[in-house]
Structure formats: structure tokens, C-alpha cells
Amino acid sequence: MKYVSTRSLRDLGGFSDVLLMGLAPDGGLAMPEHIPTFSPNELEGLRGLEYSALAYAVMRPFIDDIPEQDLREMLRATYHPDVFHSAEITPLVRLGDSDLYLLELSNGPSLAFKDIAMQFLGQVFEYVLERRGEHLNILGATSGDTGSAAEYAMLGKARVNVFMLSPHGRMSAFQQAQMFSINEPNIFNITVNGVFDDCQDLVKEVNADAGFKARYTIGAVNSINWARVLAQAVYYFKAYFALNLPAGQQADFSVPSGNFGNVFAGYLARRMGLPIGQLVVASNENDVLHEFFSTGVYRVRKAAQVAQTSSPSMDIGKASNFERYLYLVAGADGVQTRAWWAEVGESRAVDLSDSTHWEAVKSSGLVGGRSNHEDRLDTIRRADKRFGRLIDPHTADGLLVGERYARAGVPMVCLETALPAKFEGTVEEAVNRTPPRPARFEGIEEQPRFYTAMDNDAAELKAFVVEKLG
């Protein structure tokens, strides 16, 4: 399998090449040159596979530059009950006797869905770098959960350093403590005076400096990394088969969405032949995606327009993975995608509402909705009272919007994003009690913190990277 850029640059290499690449040289995102599909009979052959075997079946068509046995061993080491505290890895739980289901994705080391892909990245980074005799310096941005998931996955990886940017004061107390309590020689936490989009823009600006990127071997673990999207597609297959539906019957999925990586993985699964009907894109008050799927206009927000909300991991005004979706909507036309992104760069918006591509959007299965603070408090209360289930505020956004789009007789699978303990302030406000947390995280907020604060300045960031790498 060869990879190309969403902005038309051809032949980025194979999987291992784009794994280490981050952004493509033309600023686009890596995509496979075609998307393999499963026939209905092939899909039926995947039923009943344990998680690592299913992951191999889904991911192998995209990863043909790693020997079969090595890939299988990495996947077995990644998706192990000792890592995810469940033999099922991503258990599916029915909510009462309704057609609503919760896909548990928070059983990993950092208690968030990002672990599902990030643990695989830790394994495959180490594998590829060891065989190439190389080192990698990861530069990433996080609105909350990506950072801790990446850092937990890269602990002890001798060939990987992590420089993780986060918006100062914008994460929950638990999220901050989880990241900043790490004191390891290959982990560097940096808080930026700004919002998540500022952090993300800094990462892109550094990546755009081809000389600096090459000299200091800068890579990425954000959802722009294709390996993350691919690994996340697996749990859509796992959830669908766990429903035990008749062959070909549709299921719907509702996905809390900020950077569009999680829901794009579902769209990838749909394009591969999984019978997904609707993919519900659930936004918070920062409703860039909801606006697009309602009007056809994708309008990015300036930093000052990004609201600070009680589902902070979705406080994003520019969805990085949305470019991959537009690329497929355009029929894998990189020239068109580059033109659209130029419009976004100039006017901060692109309007598809009057174009022929709007029909492709409407037939893609994606729909949008939004939630606000009072909505998510009410949803947390209702889930607790009706189903005896505590959920975090992002999952509440997904459940609420999923309920709005629920179809009679069609399962609606709502993707859990994190344990409620990571956002205990909002959960306490909703149900008047503190959500439980795993014993290993007791008192984490009182631990010493290790991070560096800096302004929103690429030159300052580059100087910091150079200083730490010597």
C-alpha cells in the first residue's frame, strides 16, 4: 500500500514512512492511495475474532511493509487484558432495555479513548525506529487526553522523545495532574498561553519548516498521524460484531467530536464496508462541525472565539482531520482539497452548500448536533438515574445528540471518551457526588508537576526543542 497527500503530492512511501512523517511535505495529511473493502462474506468471517486478531484483519491491508508475524505480535502486546483491564478490550454495554449502547473506550492506562490507538503507536514506533536505527522527536498538541495517552505510551521508549503542547489552564485538574506529574527524561510538557488551536498551529508551523523538521526528526502522534486513525477504526468493527446483528443490518454510531479523528475512523470503517448507517458528529458549544453538517459551510474559529466549556477536550475551532473527509468527499481529488484549504486559509471558511460535493456530504452518512453545559449536566443525571451509569461530559454530549438521531429498531452506539473521574467537577455538579477513580490515581492532583510555560511563539518552541536535544 502506497500513501499520498490530501493536497495531491504522490508517493509518500509506505506505512512505516508516513508513520514517522507527521504532516506531508506539502502540508497535507497522509492517506492510502485506495481504501480496501470487505465483501459481505469477508465481513462475516471477522465475527468472533478476539481483538488483536480483528485488529490485524482490519489494519493489515494498510500495513504491508511489516512482516505478518511481527505485526501480529505487536497487536497482541498492545491489545492485552493487562493493558486495558478487560478481555474484550472495548466492551459494549447496553443501556437498560433501550436501543442505546455505550462502547467503553476508557479502560486503558490514561482512562481515555486515545489509549486504544496510542498504545499501538508506542509499539510500532519502537519497532520501526529500532529496525531503521533512528530516533524520533514527537511534537504534539493536546486539548486534554491525547497528551497523557501519548506520554504513557512512550514511557521508557529509548528512541522517542515527546514534546507535548497544551493550552494553559484549559484542561481539567485531573488531566493536568496526569500529564504534569510525569518526570521522565524523554517527556517534555509545555503549556502555551492560548487555546488548543494555538498549540495545534504551532505544531504545524514547526512541521512546515522542512529544514528544522529534518534536522531534529520531528514526528507526530496527534490524530493527523494515519496510524491512529487506522487503529481507531478497529473498535467500530468490534462494536458492530458485539451487537450480534443479522448480516448486513445497519448500526448507527454517535461520536463526541472536536478534531474529527475519532469519527473519521468510523467513516473509514464505513468506506471499508462495515454496515454503518449514521455517524452522528456530536459537538459542544464550539460547533464548527455541527455548522458544517447543518449548512455546508466549514468556518474555522479564531482563538478568541473558542469557548472554554465543561467538555474541554472538544474546545477546538479547527478540526485537523476534517481535511481527510473533504478529500474523500472530493473523490480523492488532492487538487480540489488543496484549493478548499487555501480558501480556509484566506477567508477562514469554505462553502460547499451550493456545490455538487454537498450531495456527496449528504450521502456520506454523517450528521451533526450540538450540546451545551446545561444539556450535558442533564444528560449525566438522566444516564445515572435511568441506567445507573455515570458518564463524563464529552460522552454526555455524544449520548444526547445520539438520542436525537436514534432510529426505531436501529442500535445507536455511543462512544465513551473517558472515565468520569477525569472531569469530576462537572460530574459532581450534575449528580452531587464524586465519581470513583482507579486506586492508582488517588491523590494525583497533589503530586509535583513538571512542565514549562511559554508564549504562543514558534521561535521560542524551536529554541526549547534544540536546548533539550542538545
Helical H runs in 2-86? 15-21, 40-44, 51-59, 68-78, 81-84
Per-residue confidence (pLDDT) for residue 445, from 0 to 100: 87
Mean pLDDT of 58-68: 98
Per-residue confidence (pLDDT) for residue 204, from 0 to 100: 86
> Does residue 156 belong to any structural domain of this protein?
no
- Tell me the torsion sign for CA atoms 396, 397, 401, 407: negative
Per-residue confidence (pLDDT) for residue 169, from 0 to 100: 85
User: How many other C-beta atoms can be found within 10 angstroms of the C-beta atom of residue 311?
Assistant: 31
Annotated active-site residue 114? The verdict is yes
> Does residue 223 belong to any structural domain of this protein?
no
Which helix (H) or strand (E) element contains residue 361?
helix 357-362
**Does 185 have pLDDT greater than 90?**
yes
Instruction: Please count the structural domains in the chain.
Output: 1
Edge-first strand listing for the sheet containing 92-94: 92-94, 100-103, 412-415, 251-256, 276-283, 366-370
Domain range for residue 329?
92-109+229-431
Mean pLDDT of 288-308: 94
CB 204 within 8 A of CB 180: no
CATH number (domain holding residue 374): 3.40.50.1100
- The string of pLDDT tens digits covering residues 154-166 is 988 889 999 999 9
> Does residue 171 belong to any structural domain of this protein?
no
DSSP structure class, residue 106:
-
Cα–Cα distance, 133 to 167 (Å, whole number): 34
Most distant CA atoms of the chain, gap in Å: 61
- The string of pLDDT tens digits covering residues 364-394 is 999 999 999 999 999 999 999 999 999 999 9
Sequence-distant (≥ 6) Cβ neighbours of residue 44 within 8 angstroms: 247
> Does residue 393 belong to any structural domain of this protein?
yes
Per-residue confidence (pLDDT) for residue 228, from 0 to 100: 94
Per-residue confidence (pLDDT) for residue 144, from 0 to 100: 72
> Does residue 267 belong to any structural domain of this protein?
yes
User: How many other C-beta atoms can be found within 10 angstroms of the C-beta atom of residue 34?
Assistant: 11
pTM across the whole model: 0.93
CB 202 within 8 A of CB 456: yes
- The string of pLDDT tens digits covering residues 83-113 is 999 999 999 999 999 999 999 999 999 999 9
- The string of pLDDT tens digits covering residues 410-468 is 999 999 999 999 999 999 999 999 999 888 888 888 899 999 999 999 999 999 999 99
Cα–Cα distance, 40 to 168 (Å, whole number): 48
- Tell me the torsion sign for CA atoms 294, 310, 405, 259: positive
**Does 191 have pLDDT greater than 80?**
yes
The total number of residues written for the chain in this structure: 470
Per-residue confidence (pLDDT) for residue 146, from 0 to 100: 81
Q: Helix, strand, or coil here: 111?
A: coil
> Does residue 241 belong to any structural domain of this protein?
yes
3-state helix, strand, coil in the chain (%, to 5): 45, 15, 40
Question: Residue 169: what residue type?
Answer: G
> Does residue 338 belong to any structural domain of this protein?
yes
Per-residue confidence (pLDDT) for residue 122, from 0 to 100: 92
Per-residue confidence (pLDDT) for residue 221, from 0 to 100: 80
Residue 409 grid coordinates: 429498531
Per-residue confidence (pLDDT) for residue 438, from 0 to 100: 87
Beta strands in 49-147 (DSSP E): 92-94, 100-103, 136-141
CB 106 within 8 A of CB 419: yes
> Does residue 442 belong to any structural domain of this protein?
no
Reported as a pLDDT band with limits 50, 70 and 90, residue 50 is very high
| Active-site residue identified among 2, 114, 385, 422 | 114
Per-residue confidence (pLDDT) for residue 468, from 0 to 100: 92
- Burial category of 333 from C-beta neighbours within 10 Å (exposed 0-12, middle 13-18, buried 19 and up): middle
- Tell me the torsion sign for CA atoms 293, 260, 254, 237: positive
